[in-house]
Chains A and B, each alone.
Chain A
């Protein structure tokens, strides 16, 4: 999951760098329709993987789960 998120994030960064180096219609399309969705997906995947790892659980929940 983390690898997929990082790969998608890298795709997004590559699109952004292409836009900076050559700002034209094609790079803006890549930035908007490939890079931005890739970044959004990467953030969702990373968030889900962190949630599954228990990052967003409160300490009380963790203690309760450890006790049961």
Chain B
């Protein structure tokens, strides 16, 4: 995005204020670190100081927990691990994949494009996405993943329907009105991609950018 165009195009409105989620943990971490350093050097802590030395680091972790819950929705966070880097690069390219079409046309928020489609719909979608995120970290640490990477289970098309279901253009499509197709989609026996719509991501991206095997 050309920054010379103006501040309106620099990012979402929430990005222009003070980033409290980043500031608060640091503000609490400084006295916490000072107390812990004091305890490390002295080898003892008075009960009141000890209580603070317990509570402040817990507060830091609570605030950082909120930070990571929020910032892990960002595309840049998803793309920071080697497995996902080619996929994030592919959605930013003009390659005709469903994800690239949505991203390029601004049909999903640019900052949270991965999260919007992969978190599922509603609060349980968010909970599921966070649990999946922990498993992704474990698999990354253990190196327990295989190319091409695959989605675990069928894609939750409620993520698609959350935006498309009430759109007149979506409802007007003859295939979408077919009772058999509707039944198959709701039962997750078929997905939007494959038969009718292009694949969400190109094969090359799913194989770590090394080409489909």
Contacts and interface: CB of A to CB of B under 8 A. Distances in A.
Interface of A: 2-3, 5-7, 9-10, 12-13, 16-17, 19-20, 23-26, 28-29, 31-33, 35-36, 39, 42-43, 46, 50, 55
A24 B77 contact: yes
Contact of A17 (B29, B44, B80): B29
A12, A16, A39 — which one has the most chain B CB atoms within 10 A of its CB? Answer: A16
A47 to B, nearest CB: 8
Q: Which of B40, B47, B71, B72 has the most CB of A within 10 A?
A: B40
Contacts of A20: 22, 25-26, 29, 64, 67
B3 to A, nearest CB: 22
A25 B81 contact: yes
B47 A55 contact: yes
B36 A6 contact: yes
A22 B39 CA distance: 28
B50 interface: yes
6 contacts: A2-B45, A9-B53, A12-B60, A13-B32, A20-B64, A23-B74
Given A2-B39, A16-B29, A50-B50, A35 B140 contact: no
Interface of A is mostly: helix
Interface in B26-41: 26, 29, 32-33, 36-37, 39-40
Interface residues of B, number: 35
Main secondary structure of the interface of B (DSSP, over half): helix
Contacts of A5: 39
Nearest to A14: B33
Interface string B156-192: 0000000000000000000000000000000000000
**Which 9 A/B pairs are nearest by Cβ-Cβ distance?**
A24-B80, A6-B39, A25-B81, A6-B40, A25-B80, A23-B71, A9-B36, A6-B36, A16-B64
Given A20-B67, A25-B81, A28-B68, A35 B39 contact: no
Nearest to A22: B80
A19 B57 contact: no
Contact of A12 (B40, B61, B76, B80): B61
B39 A32 contact: no
Contacts of B151: none
Nearest to B70: A23
A7 B200 CA distance: 47
B5 interface: no
A31 B45 CA distance: 26
A13 B43 contact: no
A32 to B, nearest CB: 6
